[in-house]
Amino acid sequence: MASAAFLIAGWIKGVAGIGLPTAAIAIMTLFTDPRTAIALVMFPMIGSNAWQLWRGGEILRTARRYWLFSVVLFTGVVLTAFLTQNAGDRLLLAALGVVVLIFVAVSWRNLVPPLPDRWDSTAQVGFGLFSGVIGGMTAAWGPPMAMYLATRQVEKDEFIRATGFMIFIGSLPLCYAYARLGFLTGPLSGVSIAMLLPAIAGFSLGEILRRRLTGQGFRNAILIVFVFFGLNLLRRAIWYG
């Protein structure tokens, strides 16, 4: 089940540049609890984004441009993970559902207005904090990150580089926090590492497809699937167990 989830999630990430944790967790919560699903996504998330960052190139330029967002994200993720360690499954499912639906809303149309350059530092702090709180709870901070990049109106290759860098940076403190809190155990770490293979395989297939697609119709089809994921997560949060 996990291998199929990561193959699909990696494929989506290969096409869109984001969405691996969102898709993988949404699928796996159909079969397991949210904490286990989030724990399993750790190493595929780190590995796939390191690969995406390497493939995108211009790593130092990307780091200089988004360092402020990344520092705030890093801090927010680790603090939120520890502060919400006792959050129940209902809360996590509801938060995941909301994050997925925000992701759809932001991705469907250009809903976020462009931001003047003079407000960039403020935006990086604000969206970085928002991403850190969401990421610390759910491991899926793609929506607020995508919203920030939409305000900057970055082109496709820059979007791929930026998301790879910022998700990689945010993944490290979350992995540390989950290990310290006992959510990422030795056996789960082994399974999570093994899931790198289907995740990277799916990512590679999606990357090939991304180069060939003009994309709007296919992207809309993916987002429709995410709508069902998000609504199902909210349904489970209301009628959990």
Q: What is the DSSP letter of 215?
A: -
Number of C-beta neighbours around residue 182 at 10 A: 10
pLDDT at 210 over 80: no
Q: Which residues contact 28 (CB under 8 A, 6 or more apart)?
A: 1, 2, 5, 36, 37, 40, 41
The rounded distance, in Å, linking the Cα atoms of 204 and 12 is: 10
Given a cut of 90, whether residue 53 has pLDDT beyond it is no
Could you please report the per-residue DSSP string of 111-173? -SPP--GGGHHHHHHHHHHHHHHHHHHHS--HHHHHHHHHHHT--HHHHHHHHHHHHHHHHHH
Q: Is there a contact between 21 and 212 (Cβ–Cβ < 8 Å)?
A: no
Flag whether pLDDT at 110 surpasses 70.
no
Average pLDDT, the chain: 85
Nearest-angstrom CA–CA distance, 198 and 41: 12
Distance CA 13, CA 209 (A): 11
- Overall average pLDDT of the 209-236 stretch: 71
- pLDDT higher than 70, residue 109: no
Amino acid (1-letter code) at residue 91? L
Q: Judge contact between 135 and 174, C-beta under 8 A.
A: yes
Tens-place pLDDT, residues 56-102: 788 999 999 999 999 999 999 999 999 988 888 788 778 878 877 87
Helix H or strand E segment including 66:
helix 59-83
Among 57, 59, 20, 2, CA closest to 141: 20
Model confidence over 135-188: pLDDT tens digits?
A: 888 887 877 888 888 788 888 788 889 988 999 999 999 999 999 999 999 999
Q: How many percent of the chain have pLDDT more than 90?
A: 41
